[in-house]
Amino acid sequence: MKDNRAPEDFVLRLRGITKRFGALLANDAIDLELRRGAILALLGENGAGKTTLMNILFGHYLADRGEVLVAGLGGGLAPLRAGSPSAALDAGIGMVHQHFTLADNLSAFENIILGTQSLFRPWLDRGSARRKLEKLMAGSGLNVDLDAAVGVLSVGERQRIEILKALYRGARILILDEPTAVLTPQEAERLFETLRRLVAQGLSIVFISHKLAEVMAVSQRVVVLRKGKVVADLATAETDAAHLAETMVGRAIPKTVRTAMAPGAVILELDKVRVAGVHGRPALKDASLSLRAHEILGIAGVSGNGQVALSNLICGLQAPEGGAVSLHGQAVALGSPAGMVAAGVGRIPEDRLHDGVVGDMAVWENLALEDYRKPAFSRASFLRRDAARAHARQSIEDFDVRCPGPEAATRLLSGGNVQKLILARVLTRAPMVILANQPSRGLDIGAVTEVHRRLLDARARGAGIILISEDLDELLALSDRVAVLHRGVLSASMATEEVTIRQLGLMMAGHDRQEPAHDAA
């Protein structure tokens, strides 16, 4: 694409955007420009301030300082009224959030036209809306079943609805926040094709990501954020992934090194386990796996394909409908979280703020949450508060949990520190089986490295670990073996060295490992 257009070809300009949350400077005097018909990548690790910036642009947050200029239909840049999503929408900005914003009780069609007609209109105009939408779907190649209830649609379909929502409103600028996080590699590729087509039709796109490969693949320009500041703004063609990586992190990226290790005895075995899902359909169908000591077994899959059921089973939240589970060769009481803890299973939940900690309780209380009935923490039903606090101080030190002290309310901790708290609670007990569900999601690189190191240490100590993750790079880096979940079916496991990301992607989409030929280009 030639880039010889005049400066008025900018459709979006951010000037000096500054945003502070308490002590945290999330955005520090950020400048950013987007050209018409271009894809701009906003690169940065978790916590760098990308999402905050886009939330300011879209009016969810108010900036402390700075302004946003948007091109009108005529072309000239004009200031955007701050703090109002509807002003942003009117100015032609469309946003696809990382966590989709769809109402499950409405159909795809209703979600798209929601808020597009005056609330004082006496009648919902479905006919013309539908015609316009069908034209749009044909033009963009984004196809969805408009009458389906959103609650039953797949992640990919939901994302297409989100993009259609923006296009239907006539968006001229589309912001995509980590759009590939939940897709298979092939689905991501398809998304990129759609984006290229839309750009050719005149759309301008801001693509937020922390994945270098896709930034290189899809963007013309890349802006790198680190700790709330713009640290680089360059043409994609003039840089490479290695340089971007270093710019993004600010230092050489610590590489996760998994040393080869001979697996030990089988410690956890699932034999044809069936777990019920929501509408009576099984969420996990006859899943079998065996986990050995000194081994990490990675579970790949698009979210919503049975990960919750597998995790619930091993966390003790759900009992299976059939099949057998044995720990160290013995049957184990299922469907009881306390039973699993007692049996020596360490559990790192997917949603750490919802399931992992009680936000309103103190750090020391959360550290004792699984063990408060043990003699170390209570005697004759009375809590041994001093012992628990002392234990907490030790854990805080050992696991480097950054907090004012054991009395601090847990809800005030950052995501990374909450995760360290959970790791401290789980790993101090030296469990032989560990379930880690999305253990590094949303963490910055420092915290991710720490999580990985702790898991590898546990493996070295002799634990077997089941790692459920949507991040294929993480899976391949940590796992000795990988299996794929698709529609509740767990594949046989494969040695990590023998699979490629592409193969995993096909299996995640439901293809058999052996014969992906018809899809290969």
Partner 1 sequence: MRLEPRTQVPLALAIAAPASAIVLALLLAAIPLLWAEVSVLEAYGLIFKGALGSRFAVTETLARATPLIFTGLAAAVAFRAKLWNIGAEGQLYLGALTAAAVGTGAVTLPGFAMIPLVLIVGALAGALLMLIPTILKLRLGVDEVVTTLLLNFVVLLFVSMMIEGPMKDPMGMGWPQSEPIVEAATLPKLVARTRVHAGLILAILAGIAVWIMMQRTTWGFEARAVGASPAAARFAGMPVPRVMIRVGLISGALAGLAGVGEVAGLKGYLTLDLSPGFGYSGIVVAMLAQLNALAVIVAALFVAIVFVGADFMSRAIGVSNYLANLVVATSLLTMLLASLATRYRLRWR
Partner 2 sequence: MEIVEILFTVSFWAAATRIATPLIFGTLGELICERAGVLNLGIEGIMTAGAMAGWMAVYQGADLWTGVVFAFAIGMIFGFIHGLFTVPLGLSQHVTGLGLTLLATSLAYFTYRMILPDVPSPPRIEAFQPFAIPILSEIPFIGPALFKQTALTYLAFVSVAVVGLVLYKTPLGLALRAVGENPAAAEAQGIDVYVMRIGAVMIGSGFMAIGGAFLTMSAFNAFFFEMIAGRGWICIALVVFASWRPGKALLGALLFGAFDAFQVRLQQALGGDIPYQIFLMLPYAFSILALIVMSRRAAYPKALMVPYRKGER
The residues that touch partner 2, with contacts defined as CB under 8 A, are 55, 58, 60-61, 85-86, 89-90, 95, 97, 99, 101-106, 110-111, 113-124, 165
Say which entry of partner 1, partner 2, none residue 80 contacts (CB below 5 to 8 A, set by partner kind).
Answer: none
- Listed residue (211, 300, 335) closest to 494, CA to CA: 300
Say which entry of partner 2, partner 1, none residue 102 contacts (CB below 5 to 8 A, set by partner kind).
Answer: partner 2
For the bound state, the minimum distance from the C-beta of residue 177 to partner 2, rounded and expressed in Å, comes to 11
Angle at 317 (CA atoms; ends 316, 318), nearest 5 degrees:
95
Say which entry of partner 2, partner 1, none residue 103 contacts (CB below 5 to 8 A, set by partner kind).
Answer: partner 2
Buried-state track 401-418, b at ≥16 Cβ within 10 A, e below 16: bebeebebbbeebebbbb
Among 84, 194, 336, 449, binds partner 1 (CB under 8 A): 336
Considering only 43-51, 157-165, 378-386, 444-452, which stretch makes contact with partner 1 by CB under 8 A?
Answer: 378-386
Q: Quick check: helix, strand or coil at residue 20?
A: strand
Considering only 132-140, 280-288, 351-359, 512-520, which stretch makes contact with partner 1 by CB under 8 A?
Answer: 351-359
CA 118/CA 121 separation, integer angstroms = 5
Backbone CA torsion sign across 429, 430, 431, 435:
positive
Binding flag, residue 131, partner 1 (CB under 8 A): no
Say which entry of partner 2, partner 1, none residue 357 contacts (CB below 5 to 8 A, set by partner kind).
Answer: partner 1
Residue 37 has a CB neighbour count (10 Å cut-off) of 19
Which residues inside 17-36 make contact with partner 1, applying CB under 8 A? 22
Binding flag, residue 309, partner 1 (CB under 8 A): no
Say which entry of partner 2, partner 1, none residue 110 contacts (CB below 5 to 8 A, set by partner kind).
Answer: partner 2
Binding flag, residue 62, partner 1 (CB under 8 A): yes
Say which entry of partner 1, partner 2, none residue 111 contacts (CB below 5 to 8 A, set by partner kind).
Answer: partner 2
Cα Rg of the chain, angstroms: 25
- With respect to partner 2, which residue has the nearer C-beta, 281 or 461? 281
Binding flag, residue 501, partner 1 (CB under 8 A): no
- Listed residue (336, 331, 325) closest to 466, CA to CA: 325
Strand order in the sheet with 173-177: 93-96, 173-177, 204-209, 39-43, 221-226, 229-235
CA 99/CA 96 separation, integer angstroms = 8
Among 242, 412, 492, 495, binds partner 1 (CB under 8 A): 412
Residue 40 sits at φ, ψ, to 5 deg, of: -105, 125
Q: How many residues bind partner 1 (CB under 8 A)?
A: 33
Considering only 161-169, 198-206, 331-339, 492-500, which stretch makes contact with partner 1 by CB under 8 A?
Answer: 331-339
Check if the beta carbon of residue 233 is closer than 8 Å to that of residue 223: yes
For the bound state, the minimum distance from the C-beta of residue 358 to partner 1, rounded and expressed in Å, comes to 4
Residue 343 sits at φ, ψ, to 5 deg, of: -80, 0
Binding flag, residue 373, partner 1 (CB under 8 A): yes
Check if the beta carbon of residue 336 is closer than 8 Å to that of residue 314: no
Among 228, 298, 346, 356, binds partner 1 (CB under 8 A): 356
For the bound state, the minimum distance from the C-beta of residue 276 to partner 1, rounded and expressed in Å, comes to 17
Classify burial at 140, counting beta carbons within 10 Å of its beta carbon; exposed 0-12, middle 13-18, buried 19 or more.
middle
Torsion of CA 184, 186, 187, 193, to 10 degrees: 150
Considering only 192-200, 371-379, 462-470, 507-515, which stretch makes contact with partner 1 by CB under 8 A?
Answer: 371-379
Residue in the structure block whose two tokens are 């080869």: 260
Binding flag, residue 278, partner 1 (CB under 8 A): no
Say which entry of partner 2, partner 1, none residue 491 contacts (CB below 5 to 8 A, set by partner kind).
Answer: none
- With respect to partner 2, which residue has the nearer C-beta, 55 or 180? 55
Backbone CA torsion sign across 48, 50, 51, 55:
positive
For the bound state, the minimum distance from the C-beta of residue 227 to partner 2, rounded and expressed in Å, comes to 21
For 365-426, give the secondary structure using H, E and C.
HHHCCCCCCCCCCEECCEECHHHHHHHHHHHHHHCCCCCCCCCCEHHHCCHHHHHHHHHHHH
For the bound state, the minimum distance from the C-beta of residue 64 to partner 1, rounded and expressed in Å, comes to 8
**Helices 445-461 + 415-427 axis angle, to 10:** 10
Considering only 29-37, 220-228, 261-269, 375-383, which stretch makes contact with partner 1 by CB under 8 A?
Answer: 375-383
Among 224, 357, 363, 418, binds partner 1 (CB under 8 A): 357
Considering only 319-327, 364-372, 429-437, 504-512, which stretch makes contact with partner 1 by CB under 8 A?
Answer: 364-372
Among 59, 282, 306, 349, binds partner 1 (CB under 8 A): 349
Classify burial at 387, counting beta carbons within 10 Å of its beta carbon; exposed 0-12, middle 13-18, buried 19 or more.
middle
- With respect to partner 2, which residue has the nearer C-beta, 111 or 410? 111
Among 251, 279, 354, 518, binds partner 1 (CB under 8 A): 354
CA 73/CA 165 separation, integer angstroms = 19
Site residues (CB under 8 A) for partner 1? Answer: 22, 62, 315-317, 336-341, 347, 349, 354-361, 365, 369-370, 372-373, 378, 381-383, 385, 411-412
